[in-house]
Amino acid sequence: MDILSNLLIPIVNLDLLMLIAVGTFAGIYVGAIPGLSVTMAVSILISFTFSWEVYPALALMIGIYMGGVYGGSRTAILLNIPGAPSAIATALDGFPMAQQGRAGEAIGIVTVVSFIGGFIGIFALGAFAPLLSDFAIGFQPRDFMLLAVMGILLVGSLSGDSLVKGIFAGALGIGVGAVGMDPLTIQDRFVFGIDELRGGISFVAVMIGLFGVSEALIQLHSIHTPAVRQKITGIIPSWSKVRKHLPLGLQTSTIGTIVGALPGTGGDIAALMAYDHAKRVTRKPEVPFGKGAIEGLVAPETANNAAVGGAFIPMLTLGIPGDAVTAIMIGALFIHGLNPGPMLMIEQPDMFWFIVSSLALANIFMLIFGLTGIRLFVRIVELPRTVLLPVIMVLSIVGAHAVNNSLTDVYWMLGFGVLGYFMRLYGYPLAPIILGVILSRLLDDNWRRAIISEREDFGAMMMGIFTSPLSLCLFLAVVMILITNSPWWTRWRARKAAE
């Protein structure tokens, strides 16, 4: 009964319902604009909603997240420019369909299968997160420490070409998170005699800089690319077409949920893996893959929306974000005095079921807006970026300033924006930095707890890892990530493939 009443919170409250609808609508817009990511939108939004109650703030962010993941498919189909990384695979068959004059058909099927995938991910969240949370209560500090390391490494290895650059970025994030007074001994760390640094660096400023300003600066390189107009007809797909692709959609939704639930992965990886799966299991597609196959749309779009629900599983049960957006949402929960992790489900189950319910509502709004407002959303790609980018910069500055009413945060935002700009140009992934900042405290606290409980004996701690099945699994996962991303492994695989 409690679960039901918690699930009903955003449904019976008209304000929350409106915020989810507005968020989903805005998310589709943001997702549809190439270069503007959901991560950027949520990171800017967090600073404006920090003074709100937690429910409305989360309702808006959840709407934007769900809508944005779906919205990325629009420009992938219409312009061959994925609006978000999770829509990269969608462009492979979506754009050929648009070239054949089937853009409306492509958008229609994408909308319906995104809805199906989204619901499977949300169902998995509601069904499995409580079980995982019960299991996670028994985690030792060393397990949380290993989980944090695993999350950062996974993001580092999956979000860029070079693992070394990913590890560097993750370590930089942990270092940034450590700036300020040590919470246990109030000793200064990386303060350099500057008083403003004693309170630490606002991670909101870091996020807005890395994902807002640096993206805007990168977009300046292609600011004069002209907008393309497309004709959209025949949007709502027939039931027979949906039914025909449902079995594949269910398989790829499962892939999306599982991949999304792995700490550090996200919709982009889920979509690419699902696309690969569809190519392997579809024996005779009506149209070959890459030339406008419907299966090539069904697989990535079910998977990336299913990954949204999946990404919340580690975030709410372990306190480890599933992807960059959930990393930011963890920050939002921290700001509102909540502590995501196994205890959240016990202490505040209402929060968990509220999130599940809000995701489901956002998914429904996504279907409604997606099928009815296609012509309106197509107009978004015609918006001049010469106006849009300066406005984003103003919002970034206002956002960075709003958190602490401090100009120092604006300078940090600019500094990280410029650093992020160069890092992007030279192939460094940015997501591990933010994950590092978010997980820095978790890593530091749990390392110290683990080593103190072993009386400062590193050997005893390693022995503890090897004698606990869970710790050993996590440790081996960390080692495997390092090995499989090493140049030696790549060379070995290439040699094996050549034989």
Partner 1 sequence: MEPTPKRRPGELVFNIVIMLASFGLLYSAYGISGFEALSAPGAVPMATTAIMAVCAVLILRDTLRKDGDTTQTLATHILPLIVIVTIAMIAAYALLLRPLGFLPTSVLFLLVMVRFLSKRSLAFCLAVSVGTVLLIWIIFRLIFAVLMPQGIIPEGRIVSAITSLF
If the CB atoms of residues 373 and 415 are measured against partner 1, the closer one turns out to be 415
Q: What would the x/- binding string for partner 1 be over residues 395 to 434, using CB under 8 A?
A: x-xx--xx--x-x--xx--x--xx--xx--xxx-------
Site for partner 1 contains 290 (CB under 8 A): no
Q: Shortest approach of partner 1 to residue 17 CB, angstroms?
A: 18
Q: How far, in Å, CA of 58 to CA of 318, rounded? A: 19
Out of 99, 233, 372, 386, the residue judged to bind partner 1 by CB under 8 A: 386
Q: Shortest approach of partner 1 to residue 499 CB, angstroms?
A: 15
Q: Distance between terminal CA atoms of the chain?
A: 61
Which stretch in 11-19, 178-186, 323-331, 369-377 sits in contact with partner 1 by CB under 8 A? Answer: 178-186
Q: Is residue 180 within a helix (H) or strand (E), and if so which, with residue range?
A: strand 180-181
Q: Shortest approach of partner 1 to residue 371 CB, angstroms?
A: 28
- Residue pair 327/321 in contact (Cβ under 8 Å)? The answer is yes
Q: How far, in Å, CA of 26 to CA of 42, rounded? A: 11
Number of residues lying near partner 1 (CB under 8 A):
63
| Residues 447 to 476 in contact with partner 1, rule: CB under 8 A | 447-448, 451-452, 456, 458
If the CB atoms of residues 306 and 397 are measured against partner 1, the closer one turns out to be 397
- Of the candidates 193, 189, 173, the one whose C-alpha atom is nearest the C-alpha of residue 181 is 189
If the CB atoms of residues 123 and 447 are measured against partner 1, the closer one turns out to be 447
Q: Shortest approach of partner 1 to residue 387 CB, angstroms?
A: 6
Which stretch in 127-135, 209-217, 245-253, 470-478 sits in contact with partner 1 by CB under 8 A? Answer: 209-217
Out of 49, 75, 357, 363, the residue judged to bind partner 1 by CB under 8 A: 49
Q: Shortest approach of partner 1 to residue 453 CB, angstroms?
A: 10
The phi, psi pair for 458, rounded to 5°, reads -65, -40
Site for partner 1 contains 346 (CB under 8 A): no
Q: How far, in Å, CA of 45 to CA of 260, rounded? A: 23
Crossing angle of helices 324-335 and 54-79, rounded to 10°: 160
CA distances 50 to 17, 26, 44, 282, Å, are 19, 19, 11, 47
Q: What is the DSSP string of 304-352?
A: HHHHHHHHHHHHHHHS--SSHHHHHHHHHHHHTT---SHHHHHH-HHHH
Q: Shortest approach of partner 1 to residue 137 CB, angstroms?
A: 24
If the CB atoms of residues 250 and 418 are measured against partner 1, the closer one turns out to be 418
Q: How far, in Å, CA of 362 to CA of 358, rounded? A: 6
Out of 4, 14, 185, 499, the residue judged to bind partner 1 by CB under 8 A: 185
Q: Which two tokens stand for residue 277?
A: 């799966």
The site for partner 1 (CB under 8 A) is made up of 48-49, 51-52, 162, 164-165, 167-168, 171-172, 174-175, 178, 182, 184-185, 187-190, 192, 213, 216-217, 220-221, 223, 384, 386-387, 389-391, 393-395, 397-398, 401-402, 405, 407, 410-411, 414, 417-418, 421-422, 425-427, 440, 443-444, 447-448, 451-452, 456, 458, 494
